[in-house]
Structure 1
Amino acid sequence: MTRLSSFHLRVQHAIRQRQLLHPGERLLVAFSGGQDSFCLLQILRDLQPRWDWKLFVLHCDHRWSADETECARFLQRWLQQQGLIHAVATADPIRRDEAGARAWRYQQLDKWARIWECSAVVMGHTASDRAETLLWNLLRGTGAAGLSSLDWQRRLDERDPTSARLVRPLLGLFRWETEQFCRQHQLPVWPDRSNQDLAHGRNRLRLEVMPYLKQHFNPQLEVALNRAATLLQAEHELVVAQADQLWAQVYEPTLPKLRRDPLRAAPLALQRQVMFRFLSLVLPHHPTFDQVEAGIQLLKAGRGSRSPDYPGGSWLEVKEDHICFVSINSTSPKGSNSPRL
């Protein structure tokens, strides 16, 4: 067996302590070819004899540039040489849109996890990614869920309880550590030139804003932001758990509608969480902060009061003791799983 380094032991400790992975599992490894994913794959391969895992590797080629496609070809050759079960998902032409690309990647991860019958999808996000995500989402004006969104594990598709678990066992390592690991093990990391493009806001945050904040405000910025994310995650989980209990008291799927009296008596944080969940069920798009707040205002409004119209011809309206969703097209709710605010 491979002698375990301190890196291996730290990742293995996180896996055991947080029950991220289990012996004998079939794991899909999301593999970009960058240093984090190479570090992840190597550590999982080294731990494999101790855990009896079955590893499958998926690389996604967006075909945004010739360099990206050449990377896919290189990685496919390397994976073949290593004798690893793998696939390369190649996108139909898609526009350069980070949100759209992420949605496509997650569709591919879900598809191949089902093909290979994997119970977990393992990704190489690090503590550095978590710090950047918190700061990025803070600048965009997100809620607690966004500030703590890069967690150790969750469902790949939070609306589908049959989807595989998404697991991030490297969240205890920083980017400089995965770089050091790759150098020590002489792993053929493919440099992603798009990571240097300052036209992407996330790259500018990583390359300019974070170093500036470290130099002038807090040298341990990434540690501090990870601590904040951990605290926010625990507090948000408490709010979600309490909102789930309140939901059972106020939600009525016929029409659909919310009972005003018990919702009005709840703390504002729970009101917002319930209203966000309600609007997520009835609207075809992600509810905005203003839309949630407009719904909250109806808790104390008179009968017949209504919210501003939503795109497509729908609104919220106070009828008797309920807040009702009214639509010209009589749309029905999409489901009852709980999204997070």
Structure 2
Amino acid sequence: MARLSPLHLRVQCAIRERQLLRPGQRLLVAFSGGQDSFSLLQILRDLQPRWRWQIFVLHCDHRWSADETACAQFLQGWLQQQGLPHAVETADPIRWDEAGARAWRYQQLDKWARTWSCEAVATGHTASDRAETFLWNLLRGTGAAGLVSLDWQRRLDERDPTSAWLVRPLLGLSRWETEEFCRQYQLPVWPDRSNQDLAHGRNRLRLEVMPYLKQHFNPQLEAALNRAATLLQAEHELVVAQAAQLWLQVYEPALPGLRRDPLRAAPLALQRQVMFQFLSLLLPHHPTFEQVEAGIRLLKAGRRSRSPDYPGGGWLEVRGDCVVWVAASQPASFVP
């Protein structure tokens, strides 16, 4: 067995304490070729004899540039040389935004996790990524769910309880530590030139805003943001757990709708969480704050009041003691 470095031991400790992975599992590693994913793959391979994992690897080529396609070809050759079971997915040559590209990657991860019967998908997100995500979402005005979205584990597809677990074993490491690890182990990291493009807001946040905040406000900015995310995560989990109990009292699947009286009597934080969950079942994407608030206003509105139309067609409407979902193709019906 390979001798484990202190970094190996920290990651193994996180895996054990947080129960991210179990011995003998089939794992899919999301592999970009950058320093974080190279560190993740190397650490998992070094731990493999102790944990008896079966490791599979997926690389996604967005075809945004010739450099990215060259990266995919290089990584495919390297993975073959290493004897690792792997696949390379290539996107259609269209121009996505970052959110669209992320959605496509996660679709591919879900597909290959099912193909290879993997119970868990591991990504190389670090504490640096978590701090950036927290600040980025804060600047966009997101709620608690967005601020704590980069957590240690969750379902790959949060709407599908049969999907694999998404785990982030490196979330306790900094980007500096993965860079040093790759240098120490001489891993052939492929530099992603797009990470230097300041036209992307996340890059500007990482390269300009966060260094400025570290220099002028808090040298331990990443640690502070990670601490805030950890504290907020516990509070958010409490709200979600209480909202799950309230959901059983208010959800009417046959309509579909929500009973107004018990929901109106609940604290506003629980109202919002239940409305968010309800709209998430109906909309193609997670609802925005404004879309949730449109539903909340109907809890005190008069009968036959309705919300504005939602994306994809349909709206919420007060019928009797319920707020119900009305599909665009559904005929109107009078309820006194």
**What TM-score does the superposition give when structure 2 sets the normalisation length?**
0.95
TM-superposition CA deviations, 1:81-110 (whole Å, max 9, x none): 112111111112121321111111111111
Within-5 A mapping of 1:1-341: 1-311=1-311, 314-330=314-330
**Gap runs ≥5 in structure 2:** 332-336
Give the CA deviation at 1:285: 4.1
Q: Could you report, residue by residue, the CA deviation over 1:117-162 in whole angstroms, capped at 9, with x for unpaired residues?
A: 1111111000000000000111111110100000111111111122
Change (3 A) 1:284 1:178: closer
Report % sequence identity.
85
Per-residue CA deviation, residues 193-239 of structure 1 (Å, 9 max, x unaligned), is 00000000000000000000000010000000001111111111111
1:298 is paired with a residue whose SS is helix
Matched to 2:118, the amino acid is: C
Q: Which amino acid aligns with 1:167?
A: V
Change (3 A) 1:167 1:285: closer
- Residue 300 of structure 2 aligns to a residue whose secondary structure is coil
Gaps of 5+ in 1: 332-341
2:283 and 2:312 in contact (8 A); partners too = no
Q: Secondary structure at the match of 1:219?
A: coil
Secondary structure at the counterpart of residue 302 of structure 2? coil
Counterpart Cα distance in 1 of 2:289 and 2:265: 21
Deviation at 1:305, TM superposition (A): 2.4
Matches of 2:311 and 2:65 in 1, distance apart? 36
SS of the equivalent of 1:299 reads helix
RMSD across aligned positions (CA): 1.4
Distance 1:294 1:162 in 2: 31
Query: Structure 1 residue 303: deviation in Å?
Result: 2.2
Over residues 269-318 of structure 1, what are the superposed CA-to-partner deviations in whole Å (9 max), with x where a residue is unaligned?
A: 00011111222223344322122112212222222322233355533222
Between 287-296 and 216-225, the greater mean CA deviation after superposition: 287-296
Deviation per CA, 1:158-187: give whole Å up to 9, x if none. 111221111100000000000000111111
TM-score, scaled to structure 1: 0.94
Q: Provide closer, same or farther for how the CA distance between residues 3 and 284 of structure 1 changes in structure 2, counting only shifts above 3 A.
A: closer
Query: What count of residue pairs does the alignment treat as equivalent?
Result: 331
Q: What's the offset of the Cα at 1:246?
A: 0.5
State the partner residue of 1:336.
none
